[in-house]
Amino acid sequence: MSSSEDIILSTTESIPGYKVVKVIGIVSGSTVRARHIGRDITAAFRNIVGGEIKEYTELMAKSREIAIERMIKKAKDMGANAIIGIRFTTSAIAGGASEILVYGTAVVVEKI
């Protein structure tokens, strides 16, 4: 469970200490990101010797942040104060480009 700008985010279907008083609906956020040639060259060298490809890790982390912020904005615009059941998925869109999608259920919760 996490809180971002007065909205509660949870991967679970319930939030301890809160009750769901209104289900608003599904919300999502996504971004499509392309690799950068400089990162590809660095990644190719790192692939030879093994280990984490930090350039791609950073790219994916930033993409997740963008997708989450877009989902939060949609939920707030709908009147939600929480998003439950959050899930992530990725897919290849084109050579060198991937989509990060985050989705969940926008709800209104109250403290118990």
Report residue 14 as tokens: 């319930």
Average pLDDT of the residues in 5-31? 95
pLDDT of residue 14: 94
Residue type at 81? N
Averaged pLDDT for residues 98-112: 95
What pLDDT digit, counting tens, does each position of 66-98 carry? Answer: 999 999 999 999 999 999 999 999 888 776 778
Our measurement of the distance from residue 107's CA atom to the centroid of its chain's CA atoms, rounded to an integer in Å, reads 17
Q: Which domain holds residue 17?
A: 2-111
Alpha-carbon 59 to chain mean position: 13
pLDDT of residue 17: 96
Q: What are the residues whose beta carbons fall under 8 Å from the beta carbon of 53, sequence distance 6 or more?
A: 42, 43, 46, 47
Q: Give the CATH number for residue 41.
A: 3.30.110.70
Collapse the DSSP code of 82 into the 3-class scheme (helix H, G, I; strand E, B; otherwise coil) and give the result.
strand
Q: Is the separation of the CB atoms in 61 and 78 below 8 Å?
A: no
Nearest partner of 107 among 34, 21, 39, 28, judged by Cα: 21
Instruction: Please tell me whether residue 94 adopts helix, strand or coil conformation.
Output: strand
> pLDDT tier at 28 (50, 70, 90 boundaries)?
very high
pTM over 0.85: no
Instruction: Provide the number of structural domains found in the chain.
Output: 1
